[in-house]
Structure 1
Amino acid sequence: MLDGISPVVQAIPPGAALVELRGAVGYFGMDACGIAGVVRLRSVALLGVDLRIGIGTSWTVAATASGQVTGPGGILSVSPETTEEWLATLPVEALVTLGGGLVGVRGGVWTGVLLVR
C-alpha cells in the first residue's frame, strides 16, 4: 500500500511504518498532508483500518505527532518552523521513540504511519 507512495518505506513492527516523502511531494504535486490523506483513504478502502498519521522533519517528531492524534484516525503535521515550539508544549511522557508505547496497534487501529519531509 505504501510502496506506491515512496520507494523509501520501512515497516516498524508491530504496527507502524516510516515513509520518506522528499521525492513524493514533487512527484505527486501535493504537500505531505495531501499525501497523508491519500494514504489514509487507501488504508480505509483496502484494509478497513483508519490510521493515525504523524508528519514531521524526523521520525521522532513524526512518531510523537502520530501519538498526539486524537480519535481512531487522523493526521497531525508539524511544520519545520514550529517543531521546536510544538515539542516544548508537550509533557516528557508524550515524546516517544519507536520503542515507546504510543506507536503501534491500539484498539485494532494502527497508530503510526510516520511521514518524514
Structure 2
Amino acid sequence: PRRGAYRLPVRGRLVTGFDAVSDVGVRSRGLTFAVAPDARVVAPAAGIVRYARAFRGYGRIVILDHGDGWTTLLTGLADTGVKPGVRVAAGSRIGTAPGGEDPLITVELRRRGRPVDAAALIG
C-alpha cells in the first residue's frame, strides 16, 4: 500500500516501536500504544475480519485481511464489535481497549506473514 493508506487504530502514546528489543530480549513485531481506558479501536485499513476472539494471554485479538497478502493483527482488546467474515471500512470500530490502569493495544502489520513497519505507511 502507498503512504497514507494505513492509519493508526488507536489514539495513544507509543511505548514500543517496531523492531525494538525488550529488557528480556524479545524483538517487537509491531507498535504498542498506551491508551486511555475503554479507548475506541478502529480498522487501520479496509478488510475482512478473519479472527475476532480471545487468544492466549493477548486478550481479545482481531485479524484483518486487507488483500494481496496484507494483514493486521490487533491485540489487547477488551471486546470486539466485529465477527469473522465481516467486511470493515477503514476507520470503522472493531473493538475497545480494556478499562483500568495502563491499557496497551498492539498493532502488527504483516505482508505474507512477515512483519512490516506500519509507521512507513501511516499518513
TM-score by length of 2: 0.28
Q: What is the TM-score when the length of structure 1 is the normalising length?
A: 0.28
